[in-house]
Structure 1
Amino acid sequence: MQEAKGVHEMTKMKGRIPGIIISAVLTVVVIAFIILLVWTQMLPTHLLILGSIAIVLIAVAAGLLVRRTAYKVQFTFGTILAVLLTAVLAFAGSYLYMTVNTLNQISSVRTQYTPVGIYVRTDDPAQTIADTQGYHFGILKTLDRENTDNIVSQIEDQLGGTIQTTEYEGLTQMIDALLEEETDAVIMNLAYLDVLSELDKYRDIESRIRELSVLHVETIVEEQPVQTQDENITVNKEVYTIYVSGSDTRQGLNTVGRSDVNIIATVNTETRQILLVTTPRDYFVPLSISNGVPDKLTHAGIYGVNVSMETLEMLYETDIDYYFRLNFTGFTGIVDALGGITVDNEVEFEKGNYYYPVGKVEMDGKKALTFARERYSFIDGDIQRGKNQLKVISAIIDKAMSPDILMNYASIMKSIEDCFEMDVPYNDIAALVRRQLSDNRNWNVVQYSVTGFGDSQIPYSMSDYAYVMQPDYETVNKAKELMKKVRDGEIVVINKLPTEESYVDPYEE
């Protein structure tokens, strides 16, 4: 009798073991997922609590159903429920982790690299820096001097001795000295090649000189101090001002170079307003490092992202909190991973093998890149290009909000790492997500482009006349007024100006 009872208890225990194992695994998965939710800091407290309770209740229900294998229907249903819950949590957890990791990756970069080249004439016999022993080097007297001195030291370390240098007042004087064999080699920032190519006389410069070597200077991007240039502007954590810089550099995202897109985004998270002010790349304004000498705005990027930010702060008399850099060349990977995007085009044009009619245009990565880079097809040139680039960004966000993003999520995240960089702290990003989830209102997004008129001047970074755009300060003042309205929480009224238009909220259903 006792022996039969023992066998019965043993059978009951064996029947509970599968349920215990399933419940244990499910408990670990649930706890890990809830910890992950807390770690992301993206869910509002009430949603975090409600979500956690719901997950726990489902897990408890599954645990109760799998307590004993004797009840086969209940056990089977409970097992299926446990497997489904585990799969969903594992899937969601991996996506959450991937998202947080990507955001941390693109917001953790605090260094920038300045590529500086050593150039000789095309027919020069030297093939390496070692071959320049005894060469005379031309350098710029003041432009980008700190980086030049750093590279001179690197060359001297490689050659094991002091090199001979001659200083030149301007870029064209130095290049002419090389071409006319007054000096054997020159040292200059790689971005100056693009600056030279803007001048008719040097359109073919890359065929007349040869890159011997490229060395890099690494610098830390300093955080912008929390201050206000206008005593009437108060520091408000509900309002963010972000500098969006765009380029198609092939040297790497955190490499300095000309900025072809310069947008100031004023974001009021309380009123759900975003103002995007676009400034043309050729705007002729003093740089923060030029002692009042005007230059093309795009050239500010040669000296680092902080110089671009400070220059725009001077122009608009405002303070910029963070920067967001993007590389349009890297967009091809994102667009293709999304399966293409749909852009609402407003100006018909052709470029290369691509035709862009007015209206909705389906684009793959290469077609979208060509669309974002073109400016010569438009009367408004860079102004229209800035609008088109915003349309591409908007279309990408719109597609990313659709279920299609789940198909190639990993490759999309990798593409984002390759073409985005920012110094917005993760905590601020998480706070914005929490706010959006707590109060899922639509955003009012408005774009305004300042304008100007064409002129020929000698910019700070050049030593010859070049095309520039003289600012129309009426539009600059209008931009300042709009920025202040958004900061102060006023609703921005659309006046249907040629340079001002409303954008569809990418989060709107």
Structure 2
Amino acid sequence: MKTQKRKKKWVKITLITLLVLFLSFGIYSYSVYKSFKNAVDTMHQPIERKQSDKRQEPVEVKKDPFTVLMLGVDERQGDKGRSDSMIVLAVNPQKQSVKMLSIPRDTRTEIVGKGKEDKINHAYAFGGVPMAMDTVENFLDIPIDYYIQINMEGFKDIVDAVGGVTVQNDLDFTVGQYHFAKGNITLNGDEALSYSRMRHEDPRGDFGRQERQRQIIQAVIKEGASLSTLTNFSDIFSALGKNVKTNLTFDQMAAIQKNDKTAGNSIEQIEIKETGTKINKIYYGLVAPEEKQRVQSELKSQLELSNSN
């Protein structure tokens, strides 16, 4: 009899404990949800842009393939800045896959709305996000549906908010007061910013810098998703709200997270090959027509678009 009472007592205690944990988790999750929603609302910045002739109907991120242009903007006080990095993500929800193309900043192409050819990263300086999206859309011959703009100067706050990042460095170099040795290195915000900006000492030039920028972004995502940083969610979301802008809504982000969460595990990087040259003493990266066609075809296949688009 006593044994049965003890069993019932422990069952009761276990159930109460589980209930308390469940309620605590629910409250905590709501707190995280609310903070994240507030951050996204701060980040949300619609843009005025004419309807693209490459997209007949608006996309639904739950089921349709879509694109996102990521702009790493080097904004400093008193300067509008240029897009220091340009990355196009082509997401296919049905295939649960993402293709990622980094466009070198010195790529020479038509700047849509400016009526001349120039470095592709100048599009942002001339006409902000809309001109950058139009120019990349014209260059790749695919619709650019959304954008995410990251202030690289403030990106260090995001790195610090997640407690720093660890990356695998394949090049020994020094920039200013910071020395970066080969191998696994852990970086704080200022170090990560300096690490991601360097290109002159890298024999790969822009491609090497793009690789380091991807490393930092992927490391931030990894740290941000780990359980150890959940207690810092308020600082993380605050840093995101201050330094990231996007035309994606909270509902769209939630839908992407829900439907495409496994797609992040199958990101395929696409590289575009260029030939460096100087025109009027200014350095440009020239893309051969057949190379541009190759990249366009790969992206169109991912987005399930015909090559006639």
Check whether TM > 0.5. Answer: yes
Distance 2:264 2:143 in 1: 26
| Secondary structure in 1 matching 2:83 | coil
For residue 301 of structure 1, what is the aligned residue in structure 2? 124
**With structure 1 as the length reference, what TM-score do the two structures score?**
0.53
Letter aligned with residue 448 of structure 1: I
Residue 361 of structure 1: which of 172, 185, 188 is its match? 185
Residues of 2 paired with 1:441 and 1:384: CA distance?
Answer: 25
Please name the residue that 2:292 is paired with.
Answer: 476
Q: 1:89 to 1:457 in 2, by over 3 A?
A: same
**Of residues 235, 249, 261 in structure 1, which corresponds to 2:75?**
249
Larger radius of gyration: 1
Which of 434, 442, 446 matches 2:258?
A: 434
Shift of 1:228: 1.6
Aligned partner of 1:385 among 209, 234, 248 = 209
The AA in structure 1 aligned to 2:229 is I
State the 1:309 CA deviation.
Answer: 0.9
Residue among 161, 170, 195 paired with 1:337 = 161
When residues 318 and 359 of structure 1 are mapped into structure 2, their CA distance, relative to the original with a 3 A threshold, is same
Cα contact 1:283–1:470 (8 A) shared by 2: yes
1:240 equivalent to 2:66? Answer yes
1:104 to 35, 38, 41: 41
Higher relative contact order, chain-length normalized (CA < 8 Å, sep 6+): 2
Residue identity (%): 26
Aligned-partner Cα distance in 2 for 1:488–1:393? 27
Q: How far off its partner does 1:453 sit?
A: 2.5
Task: Answer yes or no: is 1:467 the counterpart of 2:291.
Answer: no
Give the equivalent residue in structure 2 for 1:87: 24
Cα distance in 2 between the residues matched to 1:355 and 1:87: 44
Is the CA contact 2:90–2:98 (under 8 Å) kept in the aligned structure 1?
Answer: yes
Q: 1:200-239 alignment to 2 at 5 Å? A: 221-223=47-49, 225=51, 227-228=53-54, 237-239=63-65
Q: Does 1:402 align with 2:226?
A: yes
Counterparts of 1:92 and 1:290, CA distance in 2: 47
Q: CA RMSD in A?
A: 2.9
Q: Which moved more, 1:72-81 or 1:446-455?
A: 72-81
Q: Which residue of 2 aligns with 1:311?
A: 135
1:163-202 paired onto structure 2 within 5 Å? none
Q: Offset of 1:300 from its aligned partner?
A: 0.6
Match of 1:498 in 2: none
CA contact (8 A) 1:268 1:274 kept: yes
1:274: Cα distance to partner?
Answer: 1.0
Which 5+ residue runs of structure 2 have no aligned equivalent?
Answer: 1-8
**C-alpha distance in 1 between matches for 2:123 and 2:217:** 23
1:448 Cα shift?
1.9
The 5 Å alignment of 1:478-497 reads 478-488=294-304
Query: TM-score, structure 2 length as denominator?
Result: 0.84
Identify the match of residue 424 of structure 1 among 240, 248, 251.
248
SS of the aligned residue for 2:228 comes to helix
Structure 1 residues not aligned, in runs of 5+: 1-71, 111-220, 459-464, 490-509
